[in-house]
Copies of this chain bind each other. A is one copy, B any other.
Amino acid sequence: MDLHLTLDRAAGRLAGQLAEGLRDAVRDGRLTPGVRLPPTRDLAADLGVSRGVVVTAYEQLVAEGFIVSRQGDGTRVATCPAAGPAAGPRGEAHRRALRLAAGTDAGPADPPGIAYDLRPGKPDLASFPRDRWAANLREVLRELPHTALNYPDPAGVPELRAELAGHLARVRAAAPEPGGIVVTAGVAQMLATVPRILIEEGHRVLAVEDPLGHHQIPMLGATGIELAGVPVDEEGIDVAALARTPARAVLVTPAHQYPTGVVLSPRRRSALIEWARDVDALIIEDDYDGEFRYDRDPVGCLRGLAPDRVLLAGSVSKALSPALRLGWAVAPPWLAVRLRAARALHDLGSSVLDQHVLARMIGSGEYARHLRVMRRRYRARRDAFVAALRERLPQVRVHGVSAGLHAYAELPGTCDETAVVAQAAALGVAVEGVAPMRVGRPGPPAIVVGYARLSERRLAEAVDLLAAAVRAV
């Protein structure tokens, strides 16, 4: 296959040039839908560029929906790439945009034909405390001085930052320092911002757990940083492998690794912090599911152990609702200042009314009470779900159910994961395969199953259908 790709080295931005060349090839029909692209290593050798250039270009095109990458199946041109007529002034050059957004959603609300939505990453939306939110907003609007309705502090309103400091110290031992808390529009915004700051600081590579949340891959890739996948085993991220990468920054989910559900072991925690001190590195701790713990001892956050090395990021997306787009970062002072500046230069901060409502709910104890209620509810669902899996799918190994809102279900080694996901969908059950969550390294087939949003009865029905899907495959 000769793709006729030419790169202008003097012009820089090689990955961007390569992506553009591949887009052109798709548009011209030199690359047809379904055709397999060369492995990154081979294409890099052909073009005389580093493999990272090709990986970055491929990631960008995956984000845009031009190509599809599947474990065991290589990278292929998408079957409906950049469809639709160009409507803009720049015609051809913009067709690619027409599919860009579709590939980067956090997930549609309700896929058609799906009766049991077990996709992970979303809480029980029916439990959102609607009355309390409305009542607190009424109080906020009764009490707030007019000046609070001006442009906000881009780092967040002081009331919320103070309440978050108390809350995160109490429940997560997060060592929040005054001035170290920045309100964010959610963990996503933090993921889109911190790599850009790292690049300004001379970083080129960010290490990530492999596998990781597949929505995070295009989001991190769009910042221009190169991702180095580091394997995760039963103790969590492999710190020795991390040390062999050129990365001096790492994104981890120690409380409940996403998607495997592993808790970072005490030994690994120490090793990770030691690595950070040795090589002057930053640890980005996504406190994913940190609030929901069922039958294991509490595990503090990494940040509490090394506040000078760790940025802790969290949000209300699992505790309340992802529709609020509200979160926080607890950062070393230098980074908190940079995060605030990034918001000052980007969006001037989060909705002030939502911030004040959350501050009131934390301050009054309502937020902690809501978490306790949800923990009990989720635990009951987890118990029902795991019992049903053990009974109906004994051949599946279930991991990571001592905390969080999802289970990592390892399929028998011979089982085709993609076929199971497709078969389950055909039966009305939405789950996710782990393959799109891998950065590079292959691994055993598995599905990721969120149990948070269905009642115990409906979970048992869904597991029946899942078992039928596995049998059919």
Query: Which residues of B sit under 8 angstroms from A149, Cβ to Cβ?
Result: 125, 128, 321-323
Q: Is A371 an interface residue (CB 8 A)?
A: no
Interface class of chain A by DSSP:
helix
- Which of A67-75, A182-190, A267-275, A398-406 lines the interface with chain B? A182-190
Whether B340 lies near A352 (C-beta < 8 A) is: no
Q: Which of A340-387 contact B (CB under 8 A)?
A: 340-341, 344-354
Whether A347 lies near B192 (C-beta < 8 A) is: yes
* B101, B332, B349: the one within 8 Å of A89 (CB): B332
Q: Which of A118-135 contact B (CB under 8 A)?
A: 122, 125-126, 128, 130-131, 133-134
Whether B100 lies near A341 (C-beta < 8 A) is: yes
Whether A349 lies near B325 (C-beta < 8 A) is: yes
Query: Which residues of B sit under 8 angstroms from A104, Cβ to Cβ?
Result: 154, 341, 344-345
Q: Is A280 an interface residue (CB 8 A)?
A: yes
Q: How far is the CA of A212 from the CA of B156 in the complex (A)?
A: 27
Whether B152 lies near A323 (C-beta < 8 A) is: yes
A53 CB to nearest chain B CB (Å): 15
Q: Is A112 an interface residue (CB 8 A)?
A: no
Q: Is A87 an interface residue (CB 8 A)?
A: yes
Q: Is A469 an interface residue (CB 8 A)?
A: no
Least CB separation from A182: chain B residue: B101
Whether A97 lies near B325 (C-beta < 8 A) is: no
* B63, B133, B282, B321: the one within 8 Å of A345 (CB): B63
Least CB separation from A138: chain B residue: B134
Query: Which residues of B sit under 8 angstroms from A282, Cβ to Cβ?
Result: 89
* B137, B154, B200: the one within 8 Å of A105 (CB): B154
A92 CB to nearest chain B CB (Å): 11
Query: A253-287 toward B: CB 8 Å interface, digit per residue (1/0)?
Result: 00000000000000000000000000010100000
| Contact A97:B338 (CB < 8 A) given known A87-B333, A219-B345 | yes
Query: Which residues of B sit under 8 angstroms from A152, Cβ to Cβ?
Result: 322-323, 325
Query: Which residues of B sit under 8 angstroms from A101, Cβ to Cβ?
Result: 154-155, 337, 340-341, 344
Q: Is A308 an interface residue (CB 8 A)?
A: yes
Q: How far is the CA of A128 from the CA of B354 in the complex (A)?
A: 16
Q: How far is the CA of A90 from the CA of B349 in the complex (A)?
A: 26
Least CB separation from A124: chain B residue: B146
Give the contact-size bracket for chain A: 35 or more
Q: Is A41 an interface residue (CB 8 A)?
A: no
Q: Is A30 an interface residue (CB 8 A)?
A: no
A343 CB to nearest chain B CB (Å): 8
Whether B189 lies near A332 (C-beta < 8 A) is: no
Q: Which of A97, A134, A308, A341 has the most CB atoms of chain B within a 10 A radius of its CB?
A: A341
Whether A352 lies near B337 (C-beta < 8 A) is: no
Query: Which residues of B sit under 8 angstroms from A344, Cβ to Cβ?
Result: 101, 104-106
Q: Is A299 an interface residue (CB 8 A)?
A: no
Query: Which residues of B sit under 8 angstroms from A350, Cβ to Cβ?
Result: 325, 351
Query: Which residues of B sit under 8 angstroms from A128, Cβ to Cβ?
Result: 146, 149
Q: How far is the CA of A88 from the CA of B93 in the complex (A)?
A: 43
* B105, B148, B347: the one within 8 Å of A185 (CB): B347
Q: Is A390 an interface residue (CB 8 A)?
A: no
Whether A100 lies near B151 (C-beta < 8 A) is: no
| Contact A337:B98 (CB < 8 A) given known A89-B282, A134-B138, A222-B345 | yes
Q: How far is the CA of A282 from the CA of B89 in the complex (A)?
A: 9
| Contact A346:B189 (CB < 8 A) given known A16-B200, A125-B149, A326-B351 | yes
Given contact pairs A90-B201, A105-B344, A189-B347, enumerate 13 new A-B contacts (beta carbons under 8 Å).
A64-B341, A94-B334, A98-B333, A109-B147, A134-B141, A149-B321, A149-B323, A188-B346, A188-B347, A188-B348, A192-B345, A219-B345, A351-B351
Q: What are 27 A-B residue pairs whose CB atoms fall within 8 Å in the complex?
A: A64-B341, A87-B334, A88-B334, A89-B332, A89-B334, A90-B280, A97-B338, A100-B338, A101-B154, A101-B155, A105-B153, A106-B154, A109-B150, A125-B150, A134-B137, A134-B138, A149-B321, A151-B322, A151-B323, A152-B325, A188-B346, A189-B348, A218-B345, A323-B352, A323-B353, A324-B353, A347-B347
